[in-house]
Amino acid sequence: NFDQVSANNATFTKGDSHLGIVRITSPGKVKILGKAYSTSKHKESPYAIAVKNLIYFSDSPFSYAIPGDHYNYFADYLHDILKEEHETSHRAMIRIEDVTVFENPDNLREIADILSSRGIPFMVGVIPFFVDPGEGTRLSLSDKPDLVDALQYMVHNGGTIVMHGVTHQYKGTTAVDYEFWDDNTGGPIKGETEEEDARKIETGIQEFMKNDLYPLVWETPHYTASFILYKTIAKYFSSACEQRLSMEDADFSQFFPYIINKDLFGQKIYPENLGYVPLNPDKAASRASVDQLIKNAKAQLYIRDGVATAFFHAFLDLDLLKQLADGLEGLGYSFLDMREETHWVKMKDRVILSGTQGYSVTLKDQYLSEVTFDESGEVRERSISEKRILGTISKHVTLQPREFYKAEPTEFREREQSFVEKTVSEAERVYDNIFSKEDEWKAAHALILWNHFARGALFNDQASFASALRSVSIPTDTAFLGQPINPSKYNLLIVPAAIADSLTPQDISVITAFVSSGGNIILDFKSDVAGEFGIQYAKTQLRVRRVRDQLFPEEQIVWRYAELVNKFDVDNLDKIFCADEATESPMVIGKRFGKGKVLYINSRFDPHSQQGYSNYPFLIEYIRRYFQLRPIVRREQLEVYFEPGIRRQYSIENLVRSWVSNGIRIIHVSGWHEYPKYTYDYARLIRLAHANGILVYAWLEPPQVSQMFWTNHPEWREKNIYGDDARPSWRYPVALTDTLCLHEVSRVYRLFLDSYDWDGVDLAELYFESGLGLKEPRQFTPAHPSARLELKHRYGIDLKAAFDSLSPSYWKTNEVVKESIVNYRVQKLKSIYEIFLTSFSEIAKQKPGFQIIVTAIDNFGTPELREQSGIDMHSIIELQKKFGFTLQVEDPEAKWSSNPRRYIDLGKQYSKLVDSTKLMLDLNILTFRKKDAVIPFPTLIQTGIESFHLVRSAALGAPRLTIYSEASVNPQDLAFFANALAGDVQYRFDDGGIDVRSGSSFVLRLPKEITEITLDGKPLPPFRDNRYVIPAGEHAILLAPQASSNFSTHELQTRIMSATGGLTAIQYGLRDVTLDYNSDGRMLISLSNMPTALTVDGSPVEFTVMKGNDCFSIFLPPGKHQANITAGDRFAYGINFTSFWSTTAIAVFSAIAISLLLLMYIFLKFVRRLAVNRKG
């Protein structure tokens, strides 16, 4: 147990206690350089010896190396081994770590003051994008101008920006998750490519540069990445400050005691080797952590040219930073200034440099913008090329120490803002910092100008605009060519390319006046109308097929058909939403015009489909963010699959809060997370979900039970025909053809369902996974001995012989054998279904409202599935008629890249075969497409407009649908799914109100300026972010602006927050609410106040109140009923009522008193002036 090494009068710790014992037989020939000691056994042994040119170490110095370890001795002695006599110097660095958009800017400024006052240069590791999929959050540096200002302050005071990844997350939350590593598999990301990594890195660099921040150094998130990333990043950054993996295994990380001038990938690596200060509420413990860092730095002094680097988080007590800085200075360290080093950051068309050097960039008919910054980070020199540059240009830059330089392309020659523009821009910036723009929005109401003579691509284009808006239930009216244009009732005008060139001068005058006075307009393609709004075209044309979205740069957008477009000049005040990936030429911009805004699309929006999904998936997001317009109609009845294994890093509390906000009312949770030492906390999930108005179904996937079941029962594992364990996909299948196994699985399922308060069960995808079926013998199932015996007994077929090409039973040449095998599989699955459904039906009889769903893949449209997997919808429909379950139809993966309207047709087809009220559709939204696939859609995942059409079409095709999954869909899309689900809600804006008609209840979410509405003449107050529950039927809704409802008592009413069933009538009283509802399953209703009494159809009913985050939830009986719910007691209501009117009276009295005082003041001033005048 050797725990120390002594050499050169220094003692080091030895993290790895193992040692190769050396016995010296010829002492005269051997020089002992160092010795290893065991302090517990008081033994010593030679550690390092020299025999001529042989240097031998008795262990691996790299094993368990930590700061202060004997690794330092080895690292220093390398100088002697390699005869590199480096000058003695001891330099240190401090890096401020993990700065995200949520960092406190004042903390950053104070950090800069602390370090600059001591003359200490420092680094700042910044993450340019923040992503939290669980909360649906995505923010960038551009969204946080005050943070950018603080970072610039740090640069002015000695800071060097370090690019710490792009999002610092793969599937989890920024700064918690890895980015270029899959934590679930513990290895590199499957399918990772240099191209994808490069694309992401470029996005990060550009985000910094557009905010006038210039990173000089790279830092890999959590120091963990594949060699693909290391190879790629070396093409963009000359330098990195980090530890590195020595092989693609997170356990093999290596830190360096000094600068590595060139690693395996050609980068210069600056070390981080001291560690960091962990967050600890105990200040003494935190100070002890700093002392340990200083102790590590002291050990580092042994290395003659060592560089000691620590990192520090900005959210810590800044006294600890002072302690660290002073401690390092006290050891005699000088501080290395990264801006005095030579670095480059390069892309094809831009560079960031420090130190004198040359460079080349390639521009594509663009201007070159160059800026040199002085030693304090202020602009010393700025220039822009006189003409556009097409091709490669080389330059040599001479820089003084601490100066840095950037060169990048621009599509415009910057102009100075006018005084008015500067004033407006500054006012907007101040306003944005004080008020959240998310709260400032209007209900979208669009008018599209329509050319009814258009055909082909132009017709598709104009139809796509209308379809895209309607996909999220934005009402869109049309004005036909030749009709007078009157956009005054609307806040969004769309002028497609089909009509732009047919407008009269009078039309154009009306349009420009509308926008100038505050309206919003969308234009596409080159036109004279675009010219009226300041779009000026260059002569150069581009052929564009790949574009990069600036809001969601991680999405690879590749068009099926290239578009030929003219380049156009962009003002530096314009906002770029999307650009050509090859040239960075803008393709979608936002532009101010008078008091209004213009969204200009440089190509045709979508000339290929009539639904708007071909080219620009995120148009709705542009409208929301730039115009601040949103749809207001939502059906908050979403159902989603939930896989806890994907959400390991998220608290269930945050997930539930996110689900509620997005309108999710039912989750289907995977029921196979049972392990030897851990079982997922289903009880807690169900408890939290119910309390917040969400039903929970158990999602089962036979022939899988769980990995633990599969592991514990090797005798029941499914086999292929060669006797090997069969795992054709992700599931761990067991042999349901074995009677004992089948009954045990049924028993385990029943126990699982009885153990928790489930609201239903989803028996999903029960079939024999076999790839291409008989064509793939290694994947073919079932081939367990039980299946072979049954086939032999029933049909006289030897299953293995059926796959033997020399056998007379070979399935390709013996049609009878083939059909027998196919029929056996179909019939076997039907009998397995019967076992499970019989068990589940017993639960449903004991638990009113417990729903049984069978999810099966449609084989009517894909008949080969019957042969390949045993799927037979005819059999399943027969079972549906017997057991009465709800049938959920899933289309096969081969259909997932076809027209989204397929779900309407699928729903119509099955509604003729089963009771339409017992029909659901299953949507799979996830990253599944291959990059080289030729499909009508531009992205690898169904996102944006395509995803909205999927949800809308499925909602029109069947009464219910389930989306796989809440984690795999893009969070920005999930926010609009409730709008897409409301596709059958018909509504139109009227003077001061809205007329609506809907076959089922829905939710209105209105701008905050509307604080109350009247529904058919009866006042209705809002809940959660200004939402209002509207029952089914036809209604007239009047909108009450804020000023008109300041003293309304209706805010004291109990409000319905959500319901899992359909509401056909709602009547609010002072303390109670009466509702008519219809629910096939358990009815869960959430209220704003705590219920104290309940009657259903006039009879009192016992109930249990579940307290949610902002609501109180109770169960109501399933079926069609009228319920009356009373909340609170009379005494509490009386107090609230009295308090409200007391507050109101005080407010009214105060207003009157202030008014009288003001009048008295004016009167006295007037009288006094008269008196003075008379005296005069």
Residue 426 has which token pair?
A: 């500054």
| The pLDDT value given to residue 412 | 72
- For residue 431, being part of any structural domain is answered with no
| The pLDDT value given to residue 1012 | 87
- For residue 425, being part of any structural domain is answered with no
The mean per-residue pLDDT over the stretch 869-875 comes to 97
pLDDT at 1163 over 90: no
Largest CA distance in the chain: 131
How do residues 138-179 score in pLDDT, each as one tens digit? 889 988 999 999 999 999 999 999 999 999 998 888 998 999
Confidence band, pLDDT 50/70/90 cuts, at residue 427 = low
Mean pLDDT: which of 321-330, 577-586, 641-650, 1127-1136 is highest? 321-330
CB atoms within 10 A of CB 1093: 15
- For residue 852, being part of any structural domain is answered with yes
pLDDT at 238 over 80: yes
| The pLDDT value given to residue 651 | 86
Helix-strand-coil split of the chain, %, nearest 5 = 30, 30, 40
Report helix, strand or coil for 403.
Answer: coil
Residues in the chain, total: 1176
d(CA 468, CA 618): 10
Together in a domain, 1151 and 1098 = no
More confident residue, 104 or 63: 104
Confidence band, pLDDT 50/70/90 cuts, at residue 433 = very low
Residue 743 has which token pair?
A: 């009954």
pLDDT at 497 over 90: yes
How do residues 1076-1116 score in pLDDT, each as one tens digit? 999 999 999 999 999 999 999 999 999 999 999 999 999 99
pLDDT at 577 over 80: yes
Together in a domain, 760 and 879 = yes
pLDDT at 311 over 50: yes
Of 890, 919, 945, the position where a domain reaches its end is 890
Together in a domain, 1126 and 1147 = no
Percent of the chain clearing pLDDT 90 (strictly above): 80
Together in a domain, 169 and 102 = yes
Residue 149 has which token pair?
A: 């200002």
The closest of 832, 669, 684, 837 to 759, measured between CA atoms, is: 669
- For residue 977, being part of any structural domain is answered with yes
Tally of structural domains, the chain: 8
pLDDT at 312 over 90: yes
How do residues 658-705 score in pLDDT, each as one tens digit? 999 999 999 999 999 999 889 999 999 999 999 999 999 999 999 999
The closest of 592, 589, 618 to 603, measured between CA atoms, is: 589
CATH number at residue 477: 3.40.50.880
Together in a domain, 1109 and 1171 = no
Sheet holding 1018-1020, edge to edge: 986-990, 993-998, 1033-1041, 1010-1015, 1018-1020
The closest of 740, 737, 636 to 693, measured between CA atoms, is: 636
H-helix or E-strand spanning residue 878: helix 873-883
The mean per-residue pLDDT over the stretch 529-553 comes to 93
Residue 141 has which token pair?
A: 């540096």
Main-chain phi, psi angles of 425, to 5 degrees: -65, -45
Confidence band, pLDDT 50/70/90 cuts, at residue 991 = confident
Of 343, 363, 392, the position where a domain reaches its end is 343
Confidence band, pLDDT 50/70/90 cuts, at residue 1047 = very low
pLDDT at 431 over 90: no
Cis ω on the peptide bond leading into residue 505 (within 30° of 0)?
Answer: no
CB atoms within 10 A of CB 727: 17
Together in a domain, 74 and 148 = no
How do residues 242-259 score in pLDDT, each as one tens digit? 999 999 998 888 888 999
Q: Which domain holds residue 178?
A: 91-343
Of the candidate ranges 534-548, 572-586, 1041-1055, the one whose mean pLDDT is the lowest = 1041-1055
- For residue 712, being part of any structural domain is answered with no
Together in a domain, 1128 and 1066 = yes
The mean per-residue pLDDT over the stretch 892-896 comes to 95
The mean per-residue pLDDT over the stretch 436-464 comes to 91
The closest of 595, 592, 420 to 516, measured between CA atoms, is: 595
The mean per-residue pLDDT over the stretch 493-518 comes to 97
Q: What is the DSSP letter of 1129?
A: -
Together in a domain, 998 and 1120 = yes
pLDDT at 183 over 70: yes
d(CA 1013, CA 1011): 7
H-helix or E-strand spanning residue 492: strand 492-495
Report the relative pairing of strands 1062-1068 and 1072-1079 from DSSP bridges: antiparallel
Confidence band, pLDDT 50/70/90 cuts, at residue 1150 = low
pLDDT at 1038 over 70: yes
For 114, 327, 1090, the CA distances from 285, given in Å and listed in that order, are 22, 17, 45
| The pLDDT value given to residue 436 | 46
Confidence band, pLDDT 50/70/90 cuts, at residue 1145 = low
Together in a domain, 73 and 25 = yes
d(CA 974, CA 290): 44
- For residue 137, being part of any structural domain is answered with yes
Of the candidate ranges 369-378, 421-430, 816-825, 1001-1010, the one whose mean pLDDT is the lowest = 421-430
How do residues 710-757 score in pLDDT, each as one tens digit? 999 999 999 999 999 999 899 999 999 999 999 999 999 999 999 999
401 HSE (CA, 13 A, CB side): 7
| The pLDDT value given to residue 392 | 97
pLDDT at 1043 over 50: no
How do residues 390-421 score in pLDDT, each as one tens digit? 999 999 999 999 999 999 998 776 555 555 55
Together in a domain, 173 and 312 = yes
| The pLDDT value given to residue 252 | 87
Confidence band, pLDDT 50/70/90 cuts, at residue 1152 = confident
Together in a domain, 109 and 96 = yes
- For residue 725, being part of any structural domain is answered with no
The closest of 347, 374, 372 to 359, measured between CA atoms, is: 347
Of 856, 890, 924, the position where a domain reaches its end is 890
- Burial tier of 161 (Cβ tally within 10 Å: 0-12, 13-18, 19+): buried
Q: Are 142 and 207 in contact (CB under 8 A)?
A: yes
Q: Are 743 and 830 in contact (CB under 8 A)?
A: no
| The pLDDT value given to residue 1159 | 76
Model-level pTM? 0.79
Confidence band, pLDDT 50/70/90 cuts, at residue 1174 = low
Together in a domain, 497 and 547 = yes
- For residue 165, being part of any structural domain is answered with yes
| The pLDDT value given to residue 1134 | 57
Helices (H), 142-193: 145-156
